[in-house]
Chains A and B, each alone.
Chain A
Amino acid sequence: EPEVTQTPSHQVTQMGQEVILRCVPISNHLYFYWYRQILGQKVEFLVSFYNNEISEKSEIFDDQFSVERPDGSNFTLKIRSTKLEDSAMYFCASSKNTEAFFGQGTRLTVV
Protein backbone atom coordinates (compact mmCIF):
# COMPACT_ATOMS: atom_id res chain seq x y z
CA GLU A 1 0.00 0.00 0.00
CA PRO A 2 1.43 3.41 -0.92
CA GLU A 3 2.45 5.59 1.98
CA VAL A 4 3.91 8.96 2.80
CA THR A 5 7.53 8.70 3.89
CA GLN A 6 9.48 11.24 5.88
CA THR A 7 13.17 11.59 6.56
CA PRO A 8 14.88 11.81 8.92
CA SER A 9 12.83 10.26 11.69
CA HIS A 10 14.70 12.31 14.26
CA GLN A 11 16.75 15.48 13.80
CA VAL A 12 18.72 17.31 16.45
CA THR A 13 19.93 20.78 15.61
CA GLN A 14 21.47 23.75 17.35
CA MET A 15 19.43 26.89 17.81
CA GLY A 16 19.93 29.24 14.88
CA GLN A 17 20.76 26.50 12.41
CA GLU A 18 18.76 25.74 9.30
CA VAL A 19 16.99 22.42 8.93
CA ILE A 20 15.29 20.76 6.01
CA LEU A 21 12.69 18.11 6.62
CA ARG A 22 11.94 15.84 3.72
CA CYS A 23 8.81 14.07 2.60
CA VAL A 24 7.84 11.85 -0.29
CA PRO A 25 4.08 12.09 -0.73
CA ILE A 26 1.98 9.37 -2.30
CA SER A 27 2.70 9.51 -6.00
CA ASN A 28 -0.72 10.32 -7.47
CA HIS A 29 -1.68 12.82 -4.78
CA LEU A 30 -2.06 16.48 -5.64
CA TYR A 31 -2.22 18.24 -2.29
CA PHE A 32 0.63 18.31 0.21
CA TYR A 33 0.69 19.54 3.77
CA TRP A 34 2.91 20.11 6.75
CA TYR A 35 1.57 19.90 10.28
CA ARG A 36 3.30 20.32 13.61
CA GLN A 37 2.67 18.72 16.98
CA ILE A 38 4.45 20.15 20.00
CA LEU A 39 4.86 17.45 22.64
CA GLY A 40 1.61 16.86 24.49
CA GLN A 41 -0.35 19.28 22.36
CA LYS A 42 -2.66 19.04 19.40
CA VAL A 43 -1.67 18.77 15.78
CA GLU A 44 -1.50 22.17 14.12
CA PHE A 45 -1.68 23.02 10.45
CA LEU A 46 1.31 24.85 8.98
CA VAL A 47 0.92 24.97 5.22
CA SER A 48 -0.71 23.36 2.22
CA PHE A 49 0.74 23.15 -1.26
CA TYR A 50 -1.00 22.59 -4.57
CA ASN A 51 0.02 23.02 -8.17
CA ASN A 52 3.53 24.07 -7.18
CA GLU A 53 2.50 26.86 -4.87
CA ILE A 54 1.31 27.49 -1.36
CA SER A 55 -2.48 27.35 -1.22
CA GLU A 56 -3.00 28.01 2.49
CA LYS A 57 -0.80 28.79 5.45
CA SER A 58 -1.37 29.36 9.13
CA GLU A 59 -0.05 32.17 11.27
CA ILE A 60 2.59 29.77 12.57
CA PHE A 61 4.09 29.60 9.09
CA ASP A 62 6.08 32.82 9.22
CA ASP A 63 9.10 33.98 7.23
CA GLN A 64 11.31 31.42 8.94
CA PHE A 65 9.50 28.64 7.13
CA SER A 66 9.46 27.73 3.48
CA VAL A 67 8.31 24.77 1.42
CA GLU A 68 9.49 23.45 -1.86
CA ARG A 69 8.81 20.67 -4.28
CA PRO A 70 12.24 20.49 -5.88
CA ASP A 71 11.45 17.55 -8.15
CA GLY A 72 8.52 15.32 -8.98
CA SER A 73 8.62 13.35 -5.77
CA ASN A 74 10.02 15.28 -2.80
CA PHE A 75 8.28 17.90 -0.71
CA THR A 76 10.45 19.75 1.79
CA LEU A 77 9.97 22.03 4.76
CA LYS A 78 12.82 24.38 5.58
CA ILE A 79 13.20 26.22 8.84
CA ARG A 80 15.72 28.97 8.28
CA SER A 81 16.93 29.75 11.78
CA THR A 82 15.60 27.32 14.32
CA LYS A 83 14.37 28.38 17.73
CA LEU A 84 13.90 26.28 20.85
CA GLU A 85 10.14 26.49 20.42
CA ASP A 86 10.39 24.84 17.00
CA SER A 87 11.03 21.54 18.78
CA ALA A 88 8.11 19.33 17.78
CA MET A 89 6.97 16.44 15.63
CA TYR A 90 6.52 17.55 12.05
CA PHE A 91 4.10 15.59 9.95
CA CYS A 92 3.87 15.62 6.21
CA ALA A 93 0.58 14.61 4.63
CA SER A 94 -0.79 14.25 1.14
CA SER A 95 -4.24 13.87 -0.32
CA LYS A 96 -5.91 13.21 -3.62
CA ASN A 97 -9.46 14.02 -2.68
CA THR A 98 -10.88 14.10 0.81
CA GLU A 99 -8.64 11.98 2.98
CA ALA A 100 -5.20 13.08 4.07
CA PHE A 101 -2.59 10.40 4.63
CA PHE A 102 0.18 11.17 7.06
CA GLY A 103 3.81 10.20 7.20
CA GLN A 104 5.38 8.82 10.35
CA GLY A 105 6.72 12.22 11.32
CA THR A 106 10.09 13.80 11.98
CA ARG A 107 10.92 14.61 15.56
CA LEU A 108 12.85 17.87 15.57
CA THR A 109 14.80 18.73 18.69
CA VAL A 110 16.39 22.18 18.88
CA VAL A 111 19.09 22.51 21.52
Chain B
Amino acid sequence: AQTVTQSQPEMSVQEAETVTLSCTYDTSESDYYLFWYKQPPSRQMILVIRQEAYKQQNATENRFSVNFQKAAKSFSLKISDSQLGDAAMYFCAYRSALGANNLFFGTGTRLTVIP
Protein backbone atom coordinates (compact mmCIF):
# COMPACT_ATOMS: atom_id res chain seq x y z
CA ALA B 1 0.00 0.00 0.00
CA GLN B 2 1.06 3.56 -0.60
CA THR B 3 2.38 5.47 2.39
CA VAL B 4 2.17 9.17 3.04
CA THR B 5 4.46 10.82 5.56
CA GLN B 6 4.06 14.17 7.22
CA SER B 7 7.11 14.75 9.37
CA GLN B 8 5.88 17.91 11.10
CA PRO B 9 3.26 17.11 13.74
CA GLU B 10 2.94 20.80 14.59
CA MET B 11 3.78 24.07 12.92
CA SER B 12 3.11 27.69 13.79
CA VAL B 13 3.12 30.84 11.72
CA GLN B 14 2.66 34.51 12.43
CA GLU B 15 -0.44 36.03 10.90
CA ALA B 16 0.28 37.42 7.40
CA GLU B 17 3.45 35.35 7.11
CA THR B 18 4.13 32.32 4.91
CA VAL B 19 4.41 28.74 6.08
CA THR B 20 5.28 25.51 4.28
CA LEU B 21 3.96 22.11 5.32
CA SER B 22 5.90 19.05 4.19
CA CYS B 23 4.65 15.79 2.76
CA THR B 24 6.43 12.85 1.19
CA TYR B 25 4.94 9.70 -0.22
CA ASP B 26 6.00 6.33 -1.43
CA THR B 27 4.58 4.72 -4.55
CA SER B 28 5.62 2.63 -7.51
CA GLU B 29 2.90 4.11 -9.68
CA SER B 30 3.56 6.80 -12.24
CA ASP B 31 0.09 8.27 -12.42
CA TYR B 32 -1.69 9.44 -9.31
CA TYR B 33 -3.25 12.41 -7.55
CA LEU B 34 -2.15 14.28 -4.47
CA PHE B 35 -4.31 16.38 -2.21
CA TRP B 36 -4.15 18.62 0.80
CA TYR B 37 -7.17 18.57 3.10
CA LYS B 38 -7.84 20.97 5.94
CA GLN B 39 -9.59 19.82 9.10
CA PRO B 40 -10.65 22.73 11.34
CA PRO B 41 -11.91 22.19 14.90
CA SER B 42 -15.34 21.36 13.46
CA ARG B 43 -13.61 18.14 12.23
CA GLN B 44 -14.96 18.37 8.69
CA MET B 45 -12.43 17.50 5.97
CA ILE B 46 -12.18 20.31 3.44
CA LEU B 47 -10.29 19.98 0.18
CA VAL B 48 -7.66 22.70 -0.15
CA ILE B 49 -5.79 21.83 -3.31
CA ARG B 50 -5.03 18.93 -5.63
CA GLN B 51 -2.23 18.02 -8.01
CA GLU B 52 -2.18 15.54 -10.87
CA ALA B 53 1.12 13.69 -11.10
CA TYR B 54 1.28 14.00 -14.87
CA LYS B 55 1.22 17.79 -14.65
CA GLN B 56 4.56 19.47 -14.12
CA GLN B 57 3.02 22.78 -13.21
CA ASN B 58 2.44 23.26 -9.51
CA ALA B 59 -1.18 23.78 -8.52
CA THR B 60 -2.28 27.08 -7.02
CA GLU B 61 -5.50 28.10 -5.29
CA ASN B 62 -5.44 31.70 -4.13
CA ARG B 63 -3.10 31.83 -1.11
CA PHE B 64 -2.39 28.10 -1.28
CA SER B 65 0.20 26.60 -3.58
CA VAL B 66 2.14 23.37 -3.77
CA ASN B 67 5.69 22.42 -4.59
CA PHE B 68 5.41 19.07 -6.33
CA GLN B 69 8.68 17.25 -6.84
CA LYS B 70 7.79 13.96 -8.53
CA ALA B 71 11.28 12.47 -8.58
CA ALA B 72 11.71 13.20 -4.90
CA LYS B 73 8.12 12.12 -4.14
CA SER B 74 7.58 15.33 -2.28
CA PHE B 75 4.42 17.44 -2.14
CA SER B 76 4.62 20.46 0.15
CA LEU B 77 1.90 23.03 0.79
CA LYS B 78 2.70 26.71 1.00
CA ILE B 79 0.23 29.04 2.67
CA SER B 80 0.90 32.71 1.96
CA ASP B 81 -0.44 35.64 3.95
CA SER B 82 -1.61 33.30 6.72
CA GLN B 83 -4.92 34.12 8.33
CA LEU B 84 -6.38 33.12 11.68
CA GLY B 85 -8.91 30.97 9.85
CA ASP B 86 -6.10 28.86 8.43
CA ALA B 87 -5.51 27.31 11.84
CA ALA B 88 -6.38 23.64 11.48
CA MET B 89 -5.01 20.15 10.98
CA TYR B 90 -3.70 19.68 7.46
CA PHE B 91 -3.62 16.25 5.89
CA CYS B 92 -1.73 15.25 2.80
CA ALA B 93 -3.38 12.46 0.80
CA TYR B 94 -2.56 10.20 -2.13
CA ARG B 95 -4.89 8.56 -4.62
CA SER B 96 -4.02 6.21 -7.42
CA ALA B 97 -5.13 7.18 -10.93
CA LEU B 98 -5.73 3.54 -11.77
CA GLY B 99 -7.75 0.92 -9.97
CA ALA B 100 -8.55 1.72 -6.36
CA ASN B 101 -9.61 5.31 -5.86
CA ASN B 102 -9.52 5.52 -2.10
CA LEU B 103 -7.31 8.06 -0.35
CA PHE B 104 -4.24 7.31 1.72
CA PHE B 105 -3.68 9.98 4.34
CA GLY B 106 -0.66 11.19 6.24
CA THR B 107 -0.74 11.67 9.99
CA GLY B 108 -1.41 15.38 9.71
CA THR B 109 0.23 18.66 10.71
CA ARG B 110 -1.44 20.92 13.24
CA LEU B 111 -1.03 24.53 12.13
CA THR B 112 -1.32 27.33 14.66
CA VAL B 113 -1.62 30.91 13.46
CA ILE B 114 -0.30 33.48 15.91
CA PRO B 115 -2.04 36.85 15.85
Contact = CB atoms under 8 A, between A and B. Distances in A.
Interface of A: 31, 33, 35, 41-45, 48, 55-56, 58, 89, 91, 93, 95, 98-105, 107
Contact of B44 (A35, A45, A95, A105): A105
A interface majority secondary structure: strand
A102 B101 contact: no
Interface stretch (B11-19, B70-78, B102-110): B102-110
Contacts, number: 54
B45 interface: yes
Interface residues of B, number: 23
Contact of A99 (B50, B91, B105, B108): B50
A42 B100 contact: no
A99 B95 CA distance: 9
B45 A91 contact: yes
A102 B47 CA distance: 8
B42 interface: yes
Contacts of A98: 33, 50, 52, 95
A42 B106 contact: yes
Contact of A43 (B33, B46, B101, B105): B105
Nearest to A31: B101
Given A33-B102, A98-B33, A99-B50, A42 B107 contact: yes
B107 A41 contact: yes
Contacts of A93: 45
